[in-house]
Amino acid sequence: MTEASFDAPVEIGAEDYFETAEPLVSDVREATHDFEVMVETHESPAILKSSEAEEVAAKPQKHLGANGSSSKGALAIVLILMTLFAQGHGALQQGFYKGKCGRKNVEQVIYNAVRAKFRKDHTLVAAFLRMQFHDCFVRGCEASLLLDGPNSEKTAGANGSVRGFEIIDSVKAVLEKLCPGVVSCADIIVIATRVTVFLAGGRWYQVQTGRRDGLISRASDVNLPGPTIPVSDAVQLFNNKGFTAEEMVLLLGGHTVGVTHCSFVTDRLYDFQNTGRADQSMSPSLLASLRKTCPLNSPTDSPIALDQNPRSVNTVDNSFYKQIVARRGVLQIDQQLALDSQTKAIVQNLANATDFGTRFGRAMAKLSTVGVLTGNQGEIRRSCRSVN
């Protein structure tokens, strides 16, 4: 596909819009948010910013001599060594692909390709959010989830309903034509997710790039949480990956879009924890409605919106928290977030918050740094479905 076949926004020409993570003005007009939303910058806490790197580099300066010029020289050497060290080991950076794909702007190419798909299917945001979570929590954000194979991660039960793989394939195909072997599948997942979050009403957030693709994908590595996980276990699991309880609650805000299925909630509707009755924490009106959608012993596994606000099913906003405060959480873990002493104050806060989009974006950016491969690690796959 050539660039001309992209639905290119009018102001293209300024090459680095996307490398600096600022979307195009034309898209801004289209979107329902204001422009300030998008130019706001967020830090990715796990990564050293250049200003912090300088600060760190400046510290040994004191010990390098009383003379100003020699300490300046020493500082310069330390900075050079740090840069070389960072390059050798690789590190995520803002705009990693700048100048690496001819004159094409990689993030803009992905934006345009994903936007075209999103316009036809707004549920793509749910698909990608879940995909990023399931990729990053198993072996890190290195696209092991995308590999095909008899016992690869995607064959694991927990990944059975993960979707959107063919959209990643089509974005990858476009990039391989423009600049073969340059853009990793792991970066495509992260950038594509960010695009859909924004298009679905969330805030633009900065993501760093330079991830490499993993070589291993095993179903036996998949140890993702199920919907009945107790809150304290979930907090522990997220802590182990470097997240606070608040960040966990924010990430579970991903359930503001998308669907689950009757099979995940039937126990809550008819025989909660072998009590022979429904989960008492569910609001009676939701119980009645879900029993209609999911009759006992029905052969069909119908979908149910995770956010029970019918006006917000595909919108990234804080409505999910309002619903769970009102006891209208569909998954057990979602409802428990609003009731458990470890998380209920956080949920209350988010239900009333005006800055959910910003905070969610920050949490997503942090999720995108979990266990990444960089530098010489892994590879850049030619096809996201198989190692080279």
Binding residues for Ca(2+): 135, 138, 140, 144, 153, 256, 307, 317
Burial of 220 (0-12, 13-18, 19+ CB in 10 A): exposed
Q: What are the DSSP calls for 273-294, one per residue?
A: GGSSS--TTS-HHHHHHHHHHS
Residue nearest to ligand HEM (CB): 258
Shortest distance in whole angstroms from residue 3 CB to ligand HEM: 31
- Closer by beta carbon to ligand HEM, 17 or else 137: 137
As given in the structure block, the two tokens for residue 342 are: 């470890």
Residue in 228, 223, 222, 194 with CA at minimum distance from that of residue 209: 194
* Separation of alpha carbons 76 and 108, rounded Å: 35
Q: Provide CB contacts within 8 A for 124, sequence distance 6+.
A: 114, 117, 118, 164, 167, 196
Angle subtended by helix axes 165-178 and 124-136, to nearest 10: 80
* Separation of alpha carbons 355 and 96, rounded Å: 28
Shortest distance in whole angstroms from residue 49 CB to ligand HEM: 24
Q: What are the DSSP calls for 53-95, one per residue?
A: HHHHHHGGGGGG-SSHHHHHHHHHHHHHHHHHHHHHH---BTT
Shortest distance in whole angstroms from residue 130 CB to ligand HEM: 4
Catalytic residue among 33, 42, 134, 261: 134
- Closer by beta carbon to ligand HEM, 305 or else 325: 305
- Closer by beta carbon to ligand HEM, 71 or else 293: 293
Shortest distance in whole angstroms from residue 71 CB to ligand HEM: 46
- Closer by beta carbon to ligand HEM, 28 or else 127: 127
Residues of the shown chain interacting with ligand HEM in the complex, contacts defined by CB under 6 A: 126-127, 129-130, 133, 161, 163, 225-227, 229, 234, 251-252, 254-255, 257-261, 264, 306, 331, 333
261 flagged as catalytic: no
Q: Which residues are catalytic?
A: 134
